[in-house]
Amino acid sequence: MATYKEIIKQYSKNLRDVTHIPAKEVEILLLSIVKQNVIWLHLNYNEQCQCEAQLKKLIYKRSTNYPLEYITKRASFYGELFDVEPGVLIPRPETEILVEKAETILKTIDRPQVIEIGTGSGIISVMLALLIDDIKIIAVDINDKALQLAKQNAIKHKVEHKIEFIKSDLYENITNDKYDMCISNPPYIANDFKLDKNVQYEPSNALFGGSRGDELLEKIIDQTSKRDIKYLYCEMGYDQKKPLTKYFENYNVEDLEFYEDLDKLDRGFTVKFKQ
């Protein structure tokens, strides 16, 4: 029977074509089976591996480009662990920038009220609820599975009393207009864009935003402006700064800023509408 160290070295070869950190991913999959942390693994490197058969199945699944997060059913975001399930978009590191920017403004507002459009796994709403004491959030999505998972994550992080989850297509089922901010990471990829293999396992309705990609963003801008919500913070596609800048010319905007992700690609915007 091989040791954990030998097993990691052996099976990392199977993942070289799907990830730039094959050994690390083997460790993550192994730890998801034994329900232990990295410190435990380092202390037991030279012990005999008791779960090779289980690990082999997970390695094969990952080798098909099936997302690691769907296999382990969890993802790290903003330093916290969130539950993840197939059928719901996997959290992305760049969305942390959106949360950080929203937090900065919301902390200047007394008892801020926020609406999140397309909550997915709930990471944005849950993180804002963790970061801001007196916040109230309405989180909407059209996907029942996403709403169920988002509630699960809110309960996991003990912030369910700060967030109300509603099934709604944008603002369709929202009666209250009194929000300080709308925040959203909506589908913004053009319908004909060829996705990476691993992304193809994620729900298409959480990725594709229309023939151009920014159609849904335009709807969010339009409906948010009509409801006299002061701030709108959104993630967007790397190639949408120019068309969205032009689109905002139709609105009474006090301040508009675009921001980049860690790869220096345009990734989102923050807008303050004139009240």
Q: Which pLDDT tens digit goes with each residue over 196-232?
A: 777 888 778 777 787 887 899 999 999 999 999 999 9
pLDDT at position 201 is: 82
pLDDT at position 199 is: 80
pLDDT at position 121 is: 96
pLDDT at position 193 is: 80
41: tokens are: 């693994």
Whether residue 206 contacts residue 179, with contact meaning beta carbons closer than 8 Å, is answered with no
**DSSP of 15-63:** GTTT-S-HHHHHHHHHHHHHT--HHHHHHTTTSBPS-HHHHHHHHHHHH
3-state secondary structure 192-257: CCCCCCHHHHCCHHHCEEECCCCHHHHHHHHHHHHCCCCEEEEECCCCCHHHHHHHHHHCCEEEEE
Q: Which H or E element spans position 156?
A: helix 144-156
What is the CB-side half-sphere exposure of residue 8 using CA atoms within 13 A? 22
pLDDT at position 192 is: 76
Query: Residue written as tokens 């990829």?
Result: 189
Considering only the top CATH level, what class is 87-273?
alpha beta
pTM of the model: 0.91
Q: d(Cα 51, Cα 75) in Å, to the nearest integer?
A: 22
pLDDT at position 187 is: 84
- Give, in order, the Cα–Cα distances in Å from 56 to each of 53, 60, 198: 5, 6, 19
40: number of Cβ within 10 Å: 12
pLDDT at position 162 is: 98
pLDDT mean by block of 10 residues, the chain; 275 residues: 93 95 96 93 93 96 96 94 94 95 97 97 98 97 96 98 96 90 89 79 77 90 95 96 96 96 95 93
pLDDT at position 91 is: 94
